[in-house]
Chains A and B, each alone.
Chain A
Amino acid sequence: MAFFLAQFLTGLANAAALFLVASGLSLIFGVTRIVNFAHGSFYMLGAFIGITLMDILPGHVGFWGAILLTGLAVGVIGALTEMIVLRPIYRAPELFQLVATFGVILVIQDLALMIWGAEDKLGPRAPGLRGVWRIFGEPVPKYDIVLIAITPFILFALWYLITKTRLGILVRAATQDREMVGALGVNQAWLFTGVFALGSALAGLGGALQLPKGGADLLMDFNIIGEVFVVVVIGGMGSLPGAFIAAVLISVLNVFGVTYLPQSTLVLMYVVMAIVLIIRPWGILGREEAAGEHGQVGSPERPIRPYGPKGIALTSAFVLALALVPLFAEQFVLTLIVDMIVFALFAASLHFILGTGGLVSFGHAAFFGGGAYAAALLVFHTGTPMELAFLFAPLAAGLLALAIGWFCIRLSGVYFAMLTLAFSQLVWSLAFQWRDVTRGDDGLVNIWPAEWLNAPAPFYYFTLILGTGGIIFLRHVIHSPFGYALRAGRDSPRQAEAMGIDVKRVQYAAFCLAGIMAGLAGGIFVFSKGSVFPTVLEIGESFDALIVVFLGGVKTLAGGVVGAGFMTGVEDWLTRLEYWRLLLGLVIISVVILMPEGIVGTLSTLWRKIRHTDEETIR
């Protein structure tokens, strides 16, 4: 019993940092409608800055002073980020900003590497709180008890700030209708900056507070973000008490998981999330998002048309040119183009649900990686011939989409996004922790194509045919009645329901189709590399696809494909440099600021301007 209690207390203590980071994320989202991917980076910065400051400042005052100063410093960094990167693009289409925050992640990663080096740092112990207290005979670290005591005060302070102060009222009003708040005389630009700074400061505080229990390393940013999203989803977006309850739940669960089910700690967290969401789709204390809010920006998408003869001729010429490449190019060029095609198909499948369906998935890697793993597992464990195993990739990904979609499609907007991310993390944690089957991070190796394909040129053609075939098929579906119904559900779900369209069912079917196509890309991928590791299921992989779709242009049909080509090309060129993340991050941020409609969108707007084409009618 005493052991139980001690375990529970450890969980409570761990919840402190998690709660701080999660409440910051949810606050920023509430007001600015930005899903701040870089939130984990602010947490990581908090840890590094905290260690540095604790080294400089001595003693008790130094330790606690360093934590507060860290919060302040990260808050300032957050404010600068908001002013430099986000302010210019608030008018861009919704969710476009998250691409910029992804750029920020990359920049911060390399800056941290430059300043603090690649080695993990151990956090200093809190002065005067080094030992343990015995509670019913069980040792509990003193620092844990202090954290447990502090957290309710932080919760109360935040709750008071939001519900009782003028600032809090303005924040809540801006959450609903920013433009109106401005028209009433409130400088909303500073309100945004302030909220962003506060949210970042909370993340920084979280990073510094956990130091005596952990430390600082360069993987912290992505490691925490998955957990934070889970907390926000379980607690309910925008609810502080919800975030607290969820943080406690997850942390306590983790502690017990480590003791009793050490092989499945990660899986456990996502299973709990799934259970909570089956019972309460909007989280424990969350409420359904009100539709039709003000402040939506961006012009509506233009009506679509299949390519005319000119477009078909151009596309065919391009594919033909690709088909001729093996005749003269070296092997590394073929490999690069195979990577591009695989990524283009993966991005096109995401674009299908995101652009056409309006379903923003943060976890599309689950199907790409799922397909790759499905094929690899068959080959690895049963020696299935490649042809059969390859077919299994899209099939398994489709089945996975059928299962994940069943939970996710009921939700919409950011809840849908968060839940897809959490599910993809579940799949990742299975690949990572179910070592008997997946060999964990050792990965599955020696997954080579069949004899007749096992050479650069044949495999290149195999990829070209399936990849372009998949992309053309998706485009065809977009122009079919099903694709139109999908767009109808995106443009006006209410109208669609009132004309007999089962919107959720259409979206479910589209989600599965996108999963199948992503699985197909994953299948090609695994046989082109000959191996598969859990990295293909990571958050980063999902984010890559998202970035590519947004960079290319959500509101254009070619967006995903063009973005993928651009990204793979740039990455291939940049990764030869030492601080390539920094550069890539800056490239992404500048594209976002300079081309708010994405590459294809901005180019086609320019093109129309140059040619003065009639904007009104098509055909």
Chain B
Amino acid sequence: MTEILRVENLKKSYDGFVAVGGVSFSVKQGELKALIGPNGAGKSTCFNMLMGQLKPTEGRVFFDGKDITGHKPRDIWRKGVGRTFQITGTYQSMTVIENVQMALMSHHRRIFTIGPRAWKLYRDEAMDLLGVVAMQDQADRPCSVLAYGDLKRLELAIALCHKPRLLLMDEPTAGMAPSARIELMQLTADIVRDQGVSVLFTEHDMDVVFAHSHHIMVLNRGELIADGNATEVRNNPQVQEVYLGGGTLFKEETHA
């Protein structure tokens, strides 16, 4: 498998406080990889640097062999990196399908066009994408009335609009019911398999992490303390100490 994302010695510090201190890792093509760690470990900072929301203090990010360090979010998106947010950022005043059409219009570089009616553009293409996440029957509902789980699926459809080669998902299942979590991650895993996309995601739900990721990385105080498959990570004593805890509360969950 070839590397799609390579991160070298990524660092971020704010006035002396080191949020992320020299992290290196890579994501291979077709891989579903999780980034976990306690709150404040630097996961979000890390993600925001990959996607261009934050400029790293040091280090390099390569996507598909090209240096994208410090590029703007929209330029990184154009290169083929999709993103979903922890708190969904869909367009509340538009319908479900218009949300997808908006992404398609951007992908086809029609943002500054004033000729055609927007709601007619790329409707079929958008419908196909909604099909992937099983949302076709809700295509013409206003986005503002959607249930939370549906919003998450819509966001996934939007993220797939420009056929990304890498998807960055920040806590994709936060705030969802356990069953819906499994469903969403299953869907993500299917997309990884069918379309050859690579996914890097952060997550708090250990069920989701251990059930669906090919590889897991653990971040603590801005340092990577583990990078391996589920068994390796679960049995890593350092990981247990800083993150998973004694397991008194979660004994059952890990094999659920």
Contacts and interface: CB of A to CB of B under 8 A. Distances in A.
Interface string B214-248: 00000000000000000000000000000000000
Q: Which of A488, A497, A502 has the most CB of B within 10 A?
A: A488
Interface residues of B, number: 41
A380 interface: no
A491 B91 contact: yes
A484 B94 CA distance: 9
Contacts of B72: 497
Contacts of B78: 500
Contacts of B90: 491-492, 495
A615 B89 CA distance: 23
Interface in B65-119: 72-74, 77-78, 83, 85, 89-95, 98, 101-103, 105-107, 110-119
B105 to A, nearest CB: 5
B140 A619 contact: yes
A384 to B, nearest CB: 30
Contact of B107 (A302, A480, A484, A500): A500
B68 to A, nearest CB: 14
Nearest to B92: A300
Interface string A479-523: 111111101101110110111111000100100000000000000
B210 to A, nearest CB: 28
A617 interface: yes
Given A302-B142, A501-B74, A480 B116 contact: yes
Contact of B140 (A306, A479, A488, A618): A618
Contacts of B111: 481-482, 485, 501-502, 506
A496 to B, nearest CB: 8
Contacts of A481: 105, 110-114, 116, 118, 121
Contact of A303 (B83, B89, B93, B112): B93
B91 A495 contact: yes
B189 interface: no
A613 interface: no
Q: Which of B73, B78, B103, B118 has the most CB of A within 10 A?
A: B118
Contacts of A487: 91, 93-94
A143 to B, nearest CB: 46
Interface residues of A, number: 37
A613 B140 CA distance: 15
A320 B141 CA distance: 35
A299 interface: yes
A501 B158 CA distance: 13
Contact of A482 (B113, B141, B145, B161): B113
A618 B119 CA distance: 12
B142 A480 contact: no
Contacts of A300: 92-93, 142, 144
Contacts of A280: none
B141 A480 contact: no
B112 A492 contact: no
Contacts of A615: 145
A502 B74 contact: yes
Contacts of B98: 303, 484
Contacts of A509: 112
B93 A480 contact: no
Interface in A416-447: none
B51 interface: yes
Contacts of A303: 93-95, 98, 142
A485 B106 contact: yes
A616 interface: yes
B169 to A, nearest CB: 12
Contact of B112 (A482, A616, A617): A482
Contact of B91 (A482, A492, A617): A492
Interface of A: 299-306, 476-477, 479-485, 487-488, 490-492, 494-495, 497-502, 506, 509, 615-619
Q: Which 4 A-B pairs have the closest CB atoms?
A: A495-B89, A300-B92, A491-B91, A301-B93
Given A479-B119, A617-B141, 13 more contacts: A303-B93, A480-B115, A482-B112, A487-B91, A491-B90, A492-B89, A495-B85, A497-B73, A498-B85, A498-B89, A499-B77, A499-B102, A509-B112
